[in-house]
Amino acid sequence: MALFIFLLLFANVLICYFCYLKATEKGYPKVIFAVLGAIPYFNLVVLVYLLFLPNVKADTLLNSKAAS
- Digit-coded pLDDT (tens) for 10-20: 999 999 999 99
- Check: CB of residue 27 under 8 Å from CB of residue 56: yes
Residue-level pLDDT at 65: 67
pTM of the model: 0.79
